[in-house]
Homo-oligomer: A and B are copies of this chain.
Amino acid sequence: MTQHREALRRETYRHGDLRQALLAAGLELARGGGPDAVVLREATRRVGVSPNAAYRHFADRLTLLTSVSNTALGLVADSISAEVDAVKPSSDPVVDAKSRLRAVGRGYLRFAREEPGLFRTAFSVPDDLSNSASPSKAGSSGLTPFQVLTMALDGLESVGALPADRRPGTELLAWSAVHGLGMLVIDGPLRGLTDEMIDGTTVRLLDMVERGI
Contacts and interface: CB of A to CB of B under 8 A. Distances in A.
A85 interface: no
> How many chain copies does the complex carry?
2
Given A128-B191, A129-B190, A212-B209, A176 B172 contact: no
Interface in A157-204: 169, 172-173, 175-184, 187-193, 197, 200-201, 204
A52 interface: no
Contacts of A201: 169, 172-173, 176
A188 to B, nearest CB: 5
Contact of A183 (B123, B132, B190, B207): B123
Contacts of A210: 212
Given A212-B209, A213-B208, A126 B187 contact: yes
A32 to B, nearest CB: 16
A73 to B, nearest CB: 9
A15 interface: no
Nearest to A131: B189
A146 B190 CA distance: 12
A127 interface: yes
Interface of A: 36, 123-124, 126-132, 146, 169, 172-173, 175-184, 187-193, 197, 200-201, 204-205, 207-213
24 contacts: A123-B188, A126-B187, A126-B191, A127-B191, A128-B191, A128-B192, A129-B189, A132-B189, A169-B197, A169-B201, A169-B204, A172-B181, A173-B177, A173-B208, A176-B177, A176-B178, A177-B177, A183-B183, A208-B209, A208-B212, A209-B212, A210-B212, A211-B211, A211-B212
